[in-house]
Structure 1
């Protein structure tokens, strides 16, 4: 019987259940299982859609069993439906609210069941050991309560006048799950003020924060966050305020999107350089690309191919993932004469260099520059171990769309054209001689065997083909 299983097996079963409620139900089977699972299953809350009813039950359970809150380290919330016991909720609201009017309004919004943020804000106060938080916003989400709680945490106002605000919170993910629009980055600023915060992830973050718009008196370098990862986002100032807010940024990743998100059209890599330059002594990983999930098409925006800037002074930068046009420094728009060779642009600390969005016409100018880098590896780039070039290197297959749509034929596989393989032959030979892994690939050629490597692929499954 399950009750006789070893404790390790019971814990493994509970941790692999898809829904948190199932773990609750398993723990309530008997006294032994409850005593075994209690320290383990109350470490993560994941509330999936539809979840408002589940979220409200979790709040009630933690209020009635405060010992459970001690072990909570993660929380993931999404939209959903409701349980509401006024007496139980008022007990918690009494320790949070600043006035009787606020308490009654909050209770009314909880009972109303039209938004989940009043529940999320209440739960944030109830979880003192929270380490990971994920918030997903939609147009219908009212975030006033969550924002107010975070603002009070920064200002050390009730209930944080008697308890340290989020002393263990290290990771926050903010997402936007509508098809258009985006999250204002001001919603992220309070998390940058928390002392233990280290990683911030954003999905569809649009715009930036100006010092004039910021009600908090904060100077540059006030945040301990060292990793920023922004996907499907848009900003024409390079998220300057958020980047400068970090005292020691080690990783910055930005995937740009146009059209479906708010903000200005067009990608300008140069606006990211000044704020990131402030972290030239600490930045280890840099990624600036288009977000392929946004279905970006090359619309020829005038600034998207501008030179990002020299990375030579970024003394600890090891991973670079940029668009090929943004790492080439040309004298003028004709792109005939280089202002700086690539050997003077890359940092000596580089280990992994990934260049994407390479057009066939750019390959002729890029390959000689990369060959010079590889030749000077031992002198200037001793740690370089991986080089990859991505671009449109396939031949568009001829498809009979009528037959294809009827399922009569399978579309032909796209492969890299031999022309581009030949044009990188010398570079591949150099990489092999200098012990650098080289990969020429095309994202439209899905299978790994259509990537051209400088050495045999270790995957035995490819060899069996």
Structure 2
């Protein structure tokens, strides 16, 4: 008796096959398996260069069902690959590519310019041609360069529901977006931009905030969209922040510069739950880290924000384009009114106002929300450790009444001891010094807090970013 396994069961089994190579083996097992599992192979697509893109787009143009099978598209590993004259000619004379170019372009001139970009192997041209085809896309990871005219154009058309998006919203299922800036993805693409500033073009970032399905966005090298406007200029109506129009709930900005607290982005979110920001002074337009600006922009999310990371392992220079960098230790402000906040990761000088004294102007217990569960304090100088331990002890002693959900405290700082021969810390081999470790006196200073945490049922962790094992 022949046992017939239903297709639905076979598909469930195939979805448990994680390795792409194994999924490929499935489709070559039989004609039936080929037709059944080929869409599964296309569920997660990674494209590394123009040849991958060319093969992929021809496949999905020939079989539109495969385009509908794509849920995740990863372009973060894209690298330049040269295009021969014969290959360029094949691209530009391809009947299927030309037909699709006519569908997505608004003029013959645009179509010709786009075809020229394809023939040069430009990532911008290929990616912008692929995206409108993926109607079921859930997750997009994109490596891009500052000059991405085709992507800028296609994303704005998606927001405006213009051709080729007039019939349907291709991105109606898109939930997660990652935008990774690559300064020289292909030097031949950007010879006119050598020496220019590396930053994310807001024309590419902002459209994702206007797509109603998107919930989470990660990006790096973002310069505050309002930074290009002089502070003395009165913003026009079209440049003023719009409040609460975006469905995005999670923002993660890395190696970025938010001179105005990223207010254009943050205030657009109607229900922001997670905000993570890592500062970098490497951008030309950076005026230094200004925490109070983020306090102002995040005020709109006081009732919804659950996770706040401010300047996680950020990069601060003594001087910026504006001159001496004196603002990076400014106090953020009290978090007590952020009534939904559960996880906080912040630098000590931004958590407590200790710029000119050894004790904070406002005690820590008055700066924290009652909803807090995890507190991670970065950048604690050794001279402030005793003060911080005392402040945290007060918090823990009042935990039951004020912070019933608090379960973990982390303290990070430059706590390691630099071994030297003078300290007789020499390895058995002779001249090789022992590995650096957190100083004993740091552990001793934190011991009273450790005891209080044990008694209260809390976790306490000490970290040094130069010692990954601690």
**TM-score tier after normalising by the smaller chain length:** 0.7 to 0.9
Superposition RMSD on alpha carbons, in Å?
2.9
Query: Which of the numbers 169, 173, 181 marks the counterpart of 2:178?
Result: 173
1:419 corresponding residue in structure 2: 441
Q: Does structure 1 conserve the Cα–Cα contact (< 8 Å) formed by 2:134 and 2:170?
A: no
Shift of 1:95: 2.2
Q: Assess, with a 3 A threshold, how the Cα gap between structure 1 residues 96 and 138 changes in structure 2: closer, same or farther.
A: closer
Number of the residue aligned with 1:311? 335
Tell me the alpha carbon deviations over residues 343-398 of structure 1, each in whole angstroms, 9 at most, x when there is no partner.
11100000000101100111122111111100000010010000111111222112
> Given the alignment of the two structures, is residue 236 of structure 1 paired with residue 243 of structure 2, yes or no?
no
The CA deviation string for residues 373-425 of structure 1, in whole angstroms up to 9 with x for no partner, is 0000001001000011111122211269xxx9xx9854421122221222122
Contact 2:218 2:252 in 1 (8 A): yes
Corresponding residue for residue 327 of structure 1: 351
CA 1:108 to 1:57, structure 2 compared with 1: closer, same or farther past 3 Å?
A: same
Residue of 93, 98, 106 corresponding to 1:90: 98
Counterpart among 111, 124, 141 of residue 131 in structure 2: 124
Residues 30 and 96 (structure 1), Cα distance of their counterparts in 2 relative to 1, 3 Å cut: same
TM-score normalized by structure 1?
0.84
Residue by residue over 1:415-460, the C-alpha shift from the partner in whole angstroms, topping out at 9 and shown as x without a partner, is 2222122212211111111111111222223324xxxxxxxxxxxx
Assess if the C-alpha contact under 8 Å between 1:390 and 1:440 holds in 2. yes
Query: Does 1:196 pair with 2:213?
Result: yes
- What is the aligned counterpart of 1:133 among 130, 134, 140? 140
Judge conservation of contact 1:186–1:209 (CA < 8 Å) in 2.
no
Equivalence for 1:351 = 373
Q: Closer, same or farther in 2 for the Cα pair 1:249/1:328, shift >3 Å? A: same
Distance 2:347 2:243 in 1: 29
Deviations 1:9-66 (A, max 9, x none): 9837964137xxx966863564133134223111121112xx1111111111111111
Going from structure 1 to structure 2, the CA distance change for 1:297 and 1:107 (only over 3 Å counts) comes to closer
Q: 1:206 aligns with which of 223, 237, 240?
A: 223
Residue 151 (structure 1) aligned with residue 173 (structure 2): no
**Partner residue in 1 for 2:297:** 275
**Post-superposition shift, 1:148?**
0.9
1:134–1:174 Cα contact (<8 Å) kept: yes
Partner of 2:187: none
In 1, are the aligned partners of 2:46 and 2:73 still within 8 Å (CA)?
yes
Cα 1:24–1:58, aligned 2, differ >3 Å: closer, same or farther? farther
In the TM superposition, residue 289 of structure 1 has moved relative to its aligned partner by 2.1
Q: Name the structure 2 match of 1:34.
A: 34
Contact 2:124 2:144 in 1 (8 A): no
The secondary structure found in structure 2 opposite 1:200 is strand
Q: Does 1:53 align with 2:57?
A: no
2:326 alignment partner in structure 1:
302
1:224 equivalent among 223, 233, 247:
247
Partner of residue 80, structure 2: 80
SS of the residue corresponding to residue 424 of structure 1 reads: helix
For 2:19, which of 16, 23, 37 is the aligned residue? Answer: 16
